[in-house]
Amino acid sequence: MIAALIRFELRRLRRERILWWFFGVVVCLFIASIVLGMVRHNRQATAQSDLQRLVRQQWVSQPDRHPHRVAHYGSFAFRPPDPLSLIEPGAEAHAGTMVYLEAHRRNPVVASDTAQQGSLMRFGELSVALILQIFVPLFLILLAFGSIARERETRTWELVISQGVSPRVVVMAKGLAVFIVALLVATLALVVASAFALWHADSAAPDVAARLVTLWVAYVVFFAICSFGAVALSFFASTARAALIALLALWIASGMVLPRMAAFAAEKLYPAPSRAELDLALAESLRQIGDSHNPSDPYFARLKERYLARHEVERVEELPINFGGIVMREAETLTSQVYHQHYERLFATWREQEKLVRAISLWSPFIAIKAVSAALAATDTGSYAGFQQQAEAHRYDIIQRLNELHAHRIHWHNDRAQRLDRSLWRQFPAFHYQYPSPTRALHDVRDAASGLVVWLILVMGLIWLVPNRWEQLR
Amino acid sequence: MKAVLRRLHCEFRHAARSRAVVMALVLVVVAGAVAAHLGAADVADTQRDLAALDGEIDAQELKLRSVHRADADVGLIGYFLTFPTKHEPSPWAALSAGVSSAFPYSQHLRLLGLVPQLDSEATGSPGIASLGRFDLSFVIVFLVPLLIIALAHDIATRDDELGIGSLVAAQPLSTFQLVVERLFAVGILLAGVIGLLVGLAAAIAGVKFDHTLATWLGLALLYAAFWLVAVLAVVAGSKTSISALLRLIGLWITLCIVVPAVLNAIVLTFFPLPGGVLATVEQRQFMNAGWDKAKAATMEPFLARRTEYADVSIPQERFSWPWYYAMHEVGDQQVAEQIASHRAQLERRAQTLERLSALAPPIALQLAFDRLARTDMLTYLRHGDSIAAYHEELKGFFYPLIFAEAKLHSLRFTDIPRHHYSPPKTGTIPGFLALSIVAATGILGLGIPWFRRRLNRSSIHHDD
């Protein structure tokens, strides 16, 4: 029975010319987004790995140098794009791509697309995600808005119901018909997109296949919400036009307006320090800690006493190690801690903001799917903060290795005039970006994922509200 | 004339009877007011943050004087000093945020090489930024057309669907005339809403009621006029309200989402600008090479530019501060061409986008608002220029001291130049952008005789 109803509904949909038109446009946009995204993704990935290689090349071909000289020469970390950013660019364009790593300072990550692109960035990017999150739901609305309301207007509804079929079953069947179309679209779109994503995937990116399958599941749930929700609304609306207007209003409100309002609310309720505030706070904290350049600074004076006592000598010149290097090492630890505290606080604020946005997803499945898909594609804020932390850890590591060399291989006497052999630079690790783990990402957005499930249950509940017997209809 | 007024009155009553319409109008005005309030709070926060920077150089002086001896070289002090820059937001930034979230309002500049300091990133969460910005310009660019569509998509087909089509057709009034009158009624209503929206937002944001406000209002009304003509074009070719609604929504998505997104993708894909990053990497290489070369290799190109220091003798065998700063400057100099060409490319890209915006009035309007609010790309490029100029000014202050081997005790911190960038008022109407909206409206308007024939023919068919 249900199968016959679904077949019947699908036949009706096939005859709608405007739907084919719309479908054609969406397919064209999809192809354009894949092709353009591909070109850009590959260029970005190549550019980033080329630059990382160039920087490594420059590092190892340094001449004989004093280790502290090398620490000031520093290095760069470049953020490679995740293969799945082709499908869900998420925060990609708003996130910096490069950071300069040097002694004493933690520099901001810079060179994001937005900083180059200007105002157009506000309109959003053409991407598979835009199509799946905005256009496909609209397509489903167009499929579903008239499914029952129109039959009622053309009086075929009574004809169906008088056959003795339960209205609830009819609504369910029509919902399933729309959902089948959605399932096909989601599967096709993700299979094609995945083929491209996997084709050029960086082998270091973990579990691309598993993430893609999870992504598919998330989109199927999201489309189920759209399909069944739209058909249910078509049943409860008085006319097809009322159903269409209500669905369009919902689509715009929850797909376009609410995410922006959520972002604004998050920024207001959990304000992140501005660059000016952060820089000022950093400057003040850095002034508080011991000053390695001040011979009478109490912290470093104590450090000196400790070292002299440990080695049972009178003067720093007599120490078996270079006390200058020790001071550099201690100072780096202190300043790094200050930067760490301030940046971790910033990242914690980001997490609070995102949590609030995801909480608002209980009012909008659009926000939920965006959060889940960005987390799976590793283009969420958490992944970006992860890059910053990795780059900082790398910076700290190489600077402290250099300070160790300074302490052990450079003599106190005539410190600055000495140089270390160039062969040493090869022994330093290169920066390798560790892609974030997908399980971490999913764990982060479990609230949004459960939000999707809640929405599915709600929508199914809406269909359950449809009377089971036609006598119960108004 | 009286009859026209009576019919207009009927239209308003019709609109006022629909609870959904009234609610949508109220919601849009409230949304605009809330957006303006939050935007104004943002601007106030920024101003507070900037004001807090005032004491920064004094605080550094206190610290530096306590740590270093009075006879420490000014060169050494210059190494530690940072100079906060200030970009004063225009109060209009509250109403159109533009690209302001991508750029910080302040950065702590150092006297060392400028190139690595040219880029600085704001501290906002990129994920939050990717959700989009909710401000008055969003309400006008995206939501006002939807209001027009909601109010006007059925102006030609409404009577038939209510079953009073023949009654209306019996009036001594052509369908075209009726449709235009109804559109006029919607126009008046919308003009009221836009006036209220912009006026309220301006009052909340605390901007002056000057010609910028008039321009803002004029652009919004022009944009509404474009959509009214677009509605006329679509309803003339649609048989039912539903098909008119679907086509109008299609047009809205095309102009507000598809065209900008495609343009964005095309520009990002085919006109990449990798130059900035590469120049930064190369500057480091050039600058640091100075350490491994003879001092003269650094001083010669430096003195060629700054002849005023030609007679200062630089120690050849040991470190000296004049040489140290010269090395940074020469590093900058070696990538100066690349940086300049990158800057020119950015400007060209911003201008190209402006020209391409003629393809879709929503983009033109957004860019015009951003420009009026001084949150557009060009403003930020000029902000970058002002930072470069400030860096030069700082060097102009410190170099004479450093080259004369002045000591800390002779350094007067109060004389250090301060940075303050207040983007210049554009004042004038962003001509090209306004013109492109006028042109789009005009091109659609050319079809009016055809719309008229279509609409009037459809009513004759109805009489048959």
Nearest CB to A276: which of B105, B273, B274? B105
Contact B202, B213 (CB under 8 A): yes
Q: Are A284 and B353 a contacting pair at CB < 8 A?
A: no
Which pLDDT score, from 0 to 100, does residue A292 have? 67
Q: Is the dihedral of CA B268, B269, B275, B277 positive or negative?
A: positive
Which pLDDT score, from 0 to 100, does residue A207 have? 81
Separation in Å, CA of A264 to nearest CA in chain B: 7
Residue B108 CB coordination number (10 Å): 19
Separation in Å, CA of B134 to nearest CA in chain A: 5
Residues A334-347 pLDDT 10s = 999 999 999 999 99
Residue with tokens 């084919």: A20
d(CA A80, CA A229): 39
Beta strands in A229-376 (DSSP E): none
Separation in Å, CA of A164 to nearest CA in chain B: 31
Half-sphere exposure in the Cβ direction for B95 (13 Å, CA): 32
The more confidently predicted of residues A401 and B272 is A401
The encoded tokens of residue A71 equal 């620490």
Residues A239-292 pLDDT 10s = 898 999 999 999 999 999 999 999 999 999 999 999 989 999 999 999 888 666
Residues of chain B with pLDDT under 70: 426-429, 458-464
Residues of chain B with Cβ-Cβ distance to A93 below 8 Å are 130
- How far is the CA of B42 from the CAs of A172, A272, B105, B290, B424, in angstroms? 48, 12, 12, 44, 20
Q: Are B258 and A112 a contacting pair at CB < 8 A?
A: no
Angle, CA of A255, A259 and A263, to the nearest 5°: 170
> What average pLDDT does the segment A448-455 reach?
93
> What percent of chain A stands above pLDDT 90?
60
Burial code (b: 16+ CB inside 10 Å, e: under 16) for A130-140 equals: bbbbbbbbbbb
**Domain coordinates in residue numbering, chain A:** 2-472
Nearest CB to A120: which of B56, B260, B276? B260
d(CA A316, CA A327): 12
> What average pLDDT does the segment A50-74 reach?
95
Q: Are A291 and B131 a contacting pair at CB < 8 A?
A: no
Residues A355-372 pLDDT 10s = 999 998 888 999 999 999
Contact B383, B93 (CB under 8 A): no
Angle, CA of B265, B270 and B272, to the nearest 5°: 95
Which pLDDT score, from 0 to 100, does residue A138 have? 94
Q: Are A119 and B105 a contacting pair at CB < 8 A?
A: no
Q: Are A40 and B123 a contacting pair at CB < 8 A?
A: no
Nearest CB to A272: which of B68, B125, B150? B125
d(CA B254, CA A158): 38
Q: Are A125 and B106 a contacting pair at CB < 8 A?
A: no
Which pLDDT score, from 0 to 100, does residue B463 have? 40
Residue B178 CB coordination number (10 Å): 19
Residues of chain B with Cβ-Cβ distance to A120 below 8 Å are 260, 263-264, 267, 353, 363
* Helix B211-236 vs helix B361-373: crossing angle, to nearest 10: 170
d(CA B391, CA B388): 5
The encoded tokens of residue A423 equal 């062969």
Q: What is the DSSP letter of A78?
A: E
d(CA A56, CA B121): 24
The encoded tokens of residue B325 equal 């700063």
Separation in Å, CA of B231 to nearest CA in chain A: 16
Separation in Å, CA of A317 to nearest CA in chain B: 22
The encoded tokens of residue A470 equal 């036609």
Best CA proximity match to A135, nearest among A251, A244, A215, A257 = A251
Helices (H), A312-380: 323-360, 365-376
Q: Lowest-confidence range among A303-317, A382-396, B158-172? A: B158-172
The encoded tokens of residue A66 equal 């004093």
Separation in Å, CA of B269 to nearest CA in chain A: 5
d(CA B6, CA B1): 9
Separation in Å, CA of B1 to nearest CA in chain A: 34
Separation of first and last alpha carbons in chain B: 30
Residues A144-169 pLDDT 10s = 998 888 888 888 888 887 888 888 99
Which pLDDT score, from 0 to 100, does residue B117 have? 92
> What average pLDDT does the segment A68-93 reach?
92
> What percent of chain A stands above pLDDT 70?
97
Nearest CB to A73: which of B260, B267, B288? B288
Separation of first and last alpha carbons in chain A: 24
A–B CB contacts, 8 A cutoff, strictly below: 276
Half-sphere exposure in the Cβ direction for A406 (13 Å, CA): 23
Residues of chain B with Cβ-Cβ distance to A99 below 8 Å are none
Give yes or no for residue A455 having a pLDDT over 60. yes
Q: Are A33 and B265 a contacting pair at CB < 8 A?
A: yes
d(CA B39, CA A406): 51
A197's CB contacts (< 8 A; 6+ apart) are: A83, A84, A86, A87, A208, A212
Residues of chain B with Cβ-Cβ distance to A33 below 8 Å are 265
Contact B198, B216 (CB under 8 A): yes
Residues of chain B with Cβ-Cβ distance to A391 below 8 Å are none
d(CA A73, CA B280): 13
- How far is the CA of B227 from the CAs of A339, B359, B407, B411, B444, in angstroms? 52, 15, 68, 63, 10
Read off the pLDDT band of A295 (50, 70, 90): low
Interface test with A, best of B268, B349, B379, B419 (most A CBs within 10 A): B268
What's the whole-model pTM score?
Answer: 0.93
Contact A324, A304 (CB under 8 A): no
Contact B20, B189 (CB under 8 A): no
Which pLDDT score, from 0 to 100, does residue B462 have? 46
Contact A374, A322 (CB under 8 A): no
Q: Are A275 and B123 a contacting pair at CB < 8 A?
A: yes
> What average pLDDT does the segment A85-105 reach?
92
d(CA A409, CA B43): 53
